[in-house]
Amino acid sequence: MPQRGVLSKLHAPHSAGRIACAGRSAGRNCGIHGCNIGVGQAYLQRAEIFVEPRASSRAGDGHHILAPRLNDPRATRRVRVWCAGCSSGEEPYSLAMTIRETIPDAGRWDIRILATDLDSDVLGRGQRGVYPAERLRDMSPARVSRFFRETTLNGQPAYTAAPELRDLITFKQLNLMTPFPMKGPLDAIFCRNVVIYFDEPTQMKIWSRFAELMPEGGHLYIGHSERVSGDSKHVFDNIGITTYRYTTKGLGRKG
């Protein structure tokens, strides 16, 4: 998935999130009750994110939460984003780029991106932040120069994420079916193409647990083949094909 969804929605009613992928490890069976993922199914073709912001619907997802705060001196400077099922880190790094580009004085804000996944191998790659040069081929030279440093990977040209991106991100191993270590509130949760691999009762449980972490107006980003279901559909307003906004107006409604 290209990067724009992540980079353009920190502008107004959207933001990012944090939790884990319970079943996106490549080529493995999830091994969790309720998860329908099979061997070789996981790695969901999570397409390249490292492209220019206008090239996709992901890179810009951060703008929706940041823009209103930039223009309101009374607004909180605390931003919490969770990338659930972050794989090897392209999404959280894309969000970090958006944040740095959107907020010139981001160092004066309290901004954290939690990036989680079940697979410790892909998490390790994300934490190292080193990518083959070809992965950044669609990124402008100016962005590459600002946010990455030249290096090598297995003897081939590569880039490593700059400290100004890495400083915003915490990588953690997490299983969606275990207690969440974070208490919230989370301004946004990105959990794309993860929940689809669980059975419906488990999906409804996950949506409900996400809702418990969100403040009024918090945003949830999911995959194109996923839909919030169960009682949670009353507290998550669908404001885009894959974008939901949390509202307390639907609390107590069922069915």
pLDDT on residue 64: 65
Distances, alpha carbon 195 to alpha carbons 15, 44, 251, in Å: 19, 11, 22
Q: 12-16, 26-30, 95-99 — which one is most confidently predicted on average?
A: 95-99
Examine residue 95 and state whether it is found in any structural domain, yes or no. yes
Examine residue 78 and state whether it is found in any structural domain, yes or no. yes
Examine residue 186 and state whether it is found in any structural domain, yes or no. yes
pLDDT on residue 50: 55
Q: Is the pLDDT of residue 188 over 90?
A: yes
Q: Which domain holds residue 55?
A: 4-130+162-250
pLDDT band at residue 15 under the 50/70/90 scheme: very low
Query: What burial class does residue 178 get, using C-beta atoms within 10 Å of its C-beta: 0-12 exposed, 13-18 middle, 19+ buried?
Result: exposed
Compute the distance between CA of residue 63 and CA of residue 17 in angstroms, rounded to an integer. Answer: 13
Interval 20-30 mean pLDDT? 34
Q: Is the pLDDT of residue 224 over 80?
A: yes
Q: Is the pLDDT of residue 29 over 80?
A: no
Single-letter amino acid code for the residue at 120 = S
Interval 204-222 mean pLDDT? 94
Higher pLDDT, 21 or 139: 139
Q: What number of residues does the chain have?
A: 255
Examine residue 76 and state whether it is found in any structural domain, yes or no. yes
Written as six digits, the tokens of 231 are 């009682």
Single-letter amino acid code for the residue at 79 = V
Written as six digits, the tokens of 195 are 């929940």
Higher pLDDT, 201 or 32: 201
Sign of the dihedral through C-alpha 38, 39, 42, 48: negative
Residues 163, 167, 169, CA angle at the centre, nearest 5°? Answer: 125
pLDDT band at residue 250 under the 50/70/90 scheme: low
DSSP 70: H
Q: How many domains does the chain have?
A: 1
Cis peptide before 163 (omega within 30 of 0): no
Residues 129, 97, 239, CA angle at the centre, nearest 5°? Answer: 115
Examine residue 136 and state whether it is found in any structural domain, yes or no. no
pLDDT band at residue 54 under the 50/70/90 scheme: very low
Compute the distance between CA of residue 118 and CA of residue 193 in angstroms, rounded to an integer. Answer: 14
Single-letter amino acid code for the residue at 239 = I
Examine residue 149 and state whether it is found in any structural domain, yes or no. no
pLDDT band at residue 61 under the 50/70/90 scheme: low
Q: Is the pLDDT of residue 71 over 60?
A: yes
pLDDT on residue 17: 30
Cβ proximity of 96 and 132 under 8 Å: no
Compute the distance between CA of residue 103 and CA of residue 108 in angstroms, rounded to an integer. Answer: 10
Q: Is the pLDDT of residue 166 over 90?
A: yes
Cβ proximity of 1 and 50 under 8 Å: no
List beta partners, residue 120: none
pLDDT on residue 249: 80
CATH number for the domain spanning 176: value is 3.40.50.150
pLDDT on residue 74: 83
Examine residue 148 and state whether it is found in any structural domain, yes or no. no
User: Average model confidence (pLDDT) for the chain?
Assistant: 78
Examine residue 139 and state whether it is found in any structural domain, yes or no. no
Give residue 170's Cα distance to chain centre: 12
